[in-house]
Amino acid sequence: MATEVTLPDLGDGIESGDVLEVFVSVGDVISEGQDIVEMETDKATVPVPSSVSGKVSKIAVSEGDTVPIGGVLIEVEAESGAAAPAAEPAPETPKAETPKAEAPQAEPPKDETPEPPAQAAPTPAPTTPAPAAAAPAAQPAAPAPAATPATSAATPAESADSDGESGVIPAGPAVRRFAREVGVDLARVTGTGEGGRITRDDVLAAVRAASQSASQATAGQAAAAPPAATPAAPAAAADPAAALGSDRPGTPAMDDFGSIHVERMSKIRKTISKQMHVSWSTVPRVTNFDDADITELEHLRQTSKDDYAKQGLKLTTMPFLIKAVATALKHHPAINATIDQENEQLIYKDYVNIGIAVDTDRGLVVPVMKDADRMSVPGVTRTLAEMAGKVRSGQFAVNDLRGGSFTISNLGAIGGQYSTPIINVPEVAILLVGRSRKLPVVMPDDSIQPRLMMPLSLSYDHRLVDGGTAARFLNDVIGLLEAPSRLLLAF
């Protein structure tokens, strides 16, 4: 009897998710805990594991579907009968396992009744099934190492068919998504990670290799056949979508004026759109601009970064900024607050949880650093590295994005100096930091010196935060940045 695998609870307030990718196919044998789909919720992408083991008999969803919590994802039939022969009688009943181990010779390798025609088709290319059959044959000969992963050892022949499919390729959901976006077939990529796992760098290397091969092929054709270059140009010009659309998201289409690409709005983008509309239409926002002289801070960072590097940490100016903001927020409760308009209340937060806006391939994500005011600069640096790793790999939980009381957006990592950031409601303020640059500054002794200046833009909700309150808060942040000793001793 088939067992339904449903979408589990993904967090408080989440009622549904969109299917980004389906990792399994009908006929695949899966184990409990194996990822079967990747789902996108309001703020996160999460892989969903199977709750049972067995053979996939039906896939109830496809990419792009919106599935409610409790909705059916796949149906799985128990494979207890198939698992026992592979685990126990492999050494003493080779005849029973011969159809699986020698799949290229005996045409029905899996289920003898339904699959003989499917196995007859691959006979023109025996090179692909041959290694697949050799691998299962080698496993029963050495049962000791295969004893630990019992489920995978139990079904080597079943998995051999899907060699090259997503269920077998050793790559995480984030890497699969990235490969799909850049058009790389993971089955052709050799992993350099632990245990042969495919990493993001492996995908990038495949992209570079393909680009170089294409460039060399184009150059070779142009050199070998110069007359052919002339007719090739009109062909390329005749289809601009082919030349320009290969790296564009969405599905090719046409409108009244030419070729276009149409992409369905993702759940994250829908959430961002909704939040930005609420912020823009309800919050009377004002922005203060200022600069912090971080010349001394940069000297301290340069002298300390090697010590952090020995611990596997990259020391940037961001941990110092987070520490300065967290310290200043404790002395300015109106900035670390929210407005409960429905109940006509002001809620002042006793905790300091700082959200860090991160630009990702799928949109803006704001993971929250809890109790940032209680952390030292090394602690902030370590936590920031962990948060960045989770966001870039897509392995963060929904709770990692909740509970913020103030947000910092780092535009300087990309470029630019000042901006008017949109407040992340229900918070009442957000600080944007631009790229630091050297400027001539008039010093107290009237001398002019080149100083490293950090541009800061503070947007605040004028319903609660007055201009004087915002200015005093920003002055405190600047004072802590300009005097690193105060920042390190702050409590």
Q: DSSP assignment, residue 191? A: -
Spatial contact of 461 and 406, defined as CB atoms under 8 Å apart: no
* Cβ atoms of residues 54 and 29 within 8 Å: yes
Catalytic center residues: 462
For 80, the enclosing helix (H) or strand (E) is helix 80-87
Is omega for the bond preceding 426 within 30 degrees of 0, making it cis?
A: yes
As given in the structure block, the two tokens for residue 370 are: 């809890």
Q: Which two tokens stand for residue 64?
A: 């792009």
Enumerate helices (H) and strands (E) in the chain, giving the number of each.
17, 20
Residues 6 or more apart whose CB falls under 8 angstroms from that of 105 comprise none
Would you call 209 helix, strand, or coil by DSSP? helix
C-alpha 356/C-alpha 269 separation (Å) is 18
Q: How far apart are alpha carbons 267 and 390 in whole angstroms?
A: 19
**Does residue 134 contact residue 157 with C-beta atoms inside 8 Å?**
no
Q: Residue 400 to residues 276, 321, 364, 395: CA-CA distances in angstroms?
A: 20, 20, 14, 10
Q: Which amino acid is at 419?
A: S
Tokens 């109106």 belong to which residue? Answer: 334
Three-state DSSP class for residue 196: helix
The span from the CA of 308 to the CA of 316, in Å, is 10
Q: What is the largest CA-CA distance in the chain?
A: 94
DSSP at 464: T
For 481, residues 6+ apart whose C-beta sits below 8 A from its C-beta are: 292, 293, 294, 297, 320, 321, 324, 454, 487
β-pair type (66-68, 251-255): unpaired
| Cβ neighbour number for residue 255 with a 10 Å cutoff | 8
- Taking the C-alpha atoms of residue 68 and residue 60, their distance in angstroms, rounded to an integer, is 13
CA distances from 118 to 29, 105, 162 (A): 17, 14, 13
